[in-house]
Amino acid sequence: MAWSTRELAELAGTTVNTIRHYHRLGLLDEPEREHNGYKQYRVPHLVRLLRIRRLAELGVPLSQIGEVGAGGDDTPDALRQLDAEMAASIERLQKARADIAAVLRDGAPADAPAGFASVASRLSEADSSMIHLYSQLYDEEALADVLRMVETDTDAVARDFDLLPPDADEEARRRLVERLAATIAQYLLDYPWLNDPAARLSQSEHVTAQTFVDAVVELYNPAQIDVLRRAGILAIEHVRFERGASGDAG
């Protein structure tokens, strides 16, 4: 019995265009033609087509089907590599599903930083942008600590900092510096790696420092940058005093 291209496609559960594509790739031999020019596919063509479809279902790339289907010595290695790639893809998809579930559960923006859906509504646009950058600069342990910082930050200082206008007067800046310095100092005490983050970096120290500086300049207004700079200096002084007092007490 012989079949036309359309009939072969129906039998194999595929399309005429797919069969033609397999011909072009050399995966499926061209059949004989009748005197009227129509192709006449037979059982070997159908079996070959079903074998190709099976390998494609397993995820074997079309470029490797000829080699894998031939059952050569390299076939097991090719299948193991394919299995590893599929496992990685499944892991990525599972993580994506978990992230989507968190976004839906917490009503977070779809583009919230990964792992921060539960606190995304509390982040300013600038802070959210910074955390996106942190995800490329720091390791997972550091990001977990950043999440804990945001979760435990119930002080209104973050809100007041977000609302600080670029032309804020010195008194407003000074008050905010003192409040923010206390928060930063506590972070430095609770998370010692902040004092020397080199071990938690996923990029070089130079790249991290330059990216951080550039981001602060781009994302915050002049008054906020001034407050951040002064609060950082004051926080370090607080920590030194606290550690010195603890040493004296000991």
One domain, residues 159 and 239:
yes
CATH number, domain of 35, equals 1.10.1660.10
What confidence tens digit (pLDDT) does each residue in 84-126 have? Answer: 999 999 999 999 999 999 999 999 999 999 999 999 988 999 9
Q: Which domain holds residue 57?
A: 5-71
Helix (H) or strand (E) segment spanning residue 33: strand 32-33
Q: What is the DSSP letter of 109?
A: -
Helix (H, G, I), strand (E, B) or coil at 201: strand
Q: Is the confidence at residue 249, as pLDDT, over 70? A: no
> Are residue 24 and residue 143 in the same domain, yes or no?
no
Query: Cβ neighbours of residue 166 under 8 Å, at least 6 residues apart?
Result: 221, 222, 223, 224
Residue type, position 234, single letter = L
- Burial tier of 121 (Cβ tally within 10 Å: 0-12, 13-18, 19+): exposed
Confidence of residue 230 (pLDDT cuts 50, 70, 90): very high
Which pLDDT band holds residue 248 (cuts at 50, 70, 90)?
Answer: low
Split into its structural domains, the chain has a count of 3
116 and 226 part of one domain = yes
Which residues, in sequence order, are CB contacts of 206 under 8 Å at separation 6+?
Answer: none
Residues 6+ apart with CB under 8 A from 4: 38, 39, 40, 41
